[in-house]
Copies of this chain bind each other. A is one copy, B any other.
């Protein structure tokens, strides 16, 4: 039996299992989990079974074979049409298909970040993005948000400071629409301001956009990529929430030279994304199944979001505040005087409810009073019951801490 520690690379020492993953290990049947980030399986298109059979039966010699690292050309063509509705223009060689958005995050980090480089993010931000970037040891600078998204004065201040410190900023990572974890959407003015600052300081923006396909309130927010006149936005999205996460297909749009480097990196990482999955996505787009399915997904999730907001209003003590997202999958709740990571074991074991403590969404893990609540996976009944249980856990914790 070998001593494993001595075999590990330095970068491995910096790895950390995500809190979500650890959390999932404790969750038993009787626990209501508001902690995941999973779509409702009832939204998976029924037609996928036939599509998968047809694709294999009629195009198996391509759909089951090795493929190009950049992805299947016909899928890119469908994506070009799909994204045009959001004002995003792209050629084939400005697109690469990835193994979910997670791989896109890793590859962007891999090709750009040297240890000590600055990466700017919203604060809080998506924890798996932090995980992906941190593997390459950047200095992550989080910028506070308000109800309109990242605060631009603070961003400019941070940019200036990085420059005066002689630190290279590699990119600004943002989820402008229904952000994970907060649910906040960046206002149009703020988006314009962000693009101006990026231009002024010659910065790359990485726009992660998994949620803009399900906005519930008729409010339109254009992606940054559609406002990208200087080609400085690397845009990423995924089929995880509009087809199904299990097929692991995402995509990246950006400067063709950057896409070429991403492809070169991807070749060494996994050769290419499942051709079968790509053909399934292609066929789902081609047959109009995604377009037809989206209104239904929106309706299902709108009801669930409304249920969660209603349950929060109904059950939570006054020390709790929360966001009111116009779409997406998450509500972000904060409780003055409670350390949510410390409350979690009690919430799970005694109150039978789970959530993701907010700490891991902060680059420096220095804020402890928040939690991310998912409304897409649990049923409406489970949402009410879950929030009721959570409110009791919070009351208990507030009492214990004397607040």
- Give A residues with C-beta under 8 Å from B: 1-2, 4, 7-12, 15-18, 21, 36-39, 41, 44, 48-50, 52-54, 56-57, 60-67, 69, 99-100, 102-103, 106, 110-114, 117, 128, 131-132, 134-136, 170-171, 202, 204, 230-232, 240, 244-248, 255, 257-258, 261, 264-265, 267-277, 280
B271 touches A274 (CB 8 A): no
Q: Please state if A2 and B255 are interface contacts (CB–CB under 8 Å).
A: yes
* Pick from B245, B261, B275: contact of A15, CB under 8 Å: B261
B274 pairs with A246, CB closer than 8 A: yes
Residues of B within 8 A of A38 (CB): 65-66
Q: Whole-angstrom distance between the alpha carbons of A232 and B7 in the complex?
A: 11
In this complex, what residue of B is CB-closest to A98?
A: B270
Name the one of B49, B100, B128 contacting A53, with C-beta atoms under 8 angstroms: B49
B261 to A111, Cβ gap below 8 A? no
Q: How many copies does the complex hold?
A: 2
- In the assembled complex, the CB of A8 is this many whole angstroms from the nearest CB of chain B, namely 6
Q: What are the residues of chain B within 8 A of A246 when measuring CB–CB?
A: 62-67, 274-276
B248 touches A102 (CB 8 A): no
Given contacts A2-B232, A48-B64, contact A21 B267 (CB under 8 A): yes
In-complex Cβ contact of A170 among B7, B10, B52, B114 (8 A): B7
What residues of B have a CB within 8 angstroms of the CB of A273 in the complex? 99, 248
Sample of 24 A–B contacts (CB below 8 Å): A2-B204, A4-B258, A9-B114, A9-B136, A15-B261, A15-B268, A36-B66, A37-B66, A38-B65, A38-B66, A41-B64, A44-B60, A48-B64, A49-B52, A49-B54, A49-B57, A64-B245, A64-B246, A65-B246, A99-B99, A100-B271, A128-B268, A246-B274, A276-B277
Q: Would you call B268 and A270 a contact (CB within 8 A)?
A: no
| CA distance in complex: A17, B263 (Å) | 9
Q: Is the CB of B270 within 8 A of A99?
A: yes
| Contact across chains for B264 and A202 when beta carbons are under 8 A apart | no
Q: Inside 8 A of A257's CB, which chain B residues have their CB?
A: 4
When distances are taken between beta carbons in the complex, the residues of chain B under 8 Å from A8 are 111-112, 261
Tell me the complex Cα distance, A102–B48, Å.
28
Q: Which 6 pairs show the lowest CB-CB distances between chains A and B?
A: A64-B244, A246-B275, A52-B52, A53-B53, A41-B61, A64-B246
Q: For the complex, what is the distance from the CA of A8 to the CA of B259, rounded to whole Å? A: 12
Select from chain B the residue with minimum beta-carbon distance to A104: B270
Contact assessment for A106 and B136 in the assembled complex, using a CB-CB cutoff below 8 Å: no
Q: Is the CB of B247 within 8 A of A272?
A: no
B231 touching A2 by the CB < 8 A rule?
yes
Contacts of A103 in B (CB 8 A): 269-270
- State whether B2 touches A69 (Cβ < 8 A): no
Please name all residues of chain B whose beta carbon is closer than 8 Å to the beta carbon of A66 when the two chains form the complex. Answer: 36-38, 240, 245-246
Select the residue from A99, A103, A113 with max chain B CB neighbours within 10 A. Answer: A99
With CB as the reference atom, state the residue of chain B lying closest to A240. B66
Residues in chain B near residue A15, CB distance under 8 A: 261, 264-265, 268
A7 to chain B: which residues have CB within 8 Å? Answer: 112, 170-171, 204, 258
* Minimum CB distance partner of A103 in chain B: B270
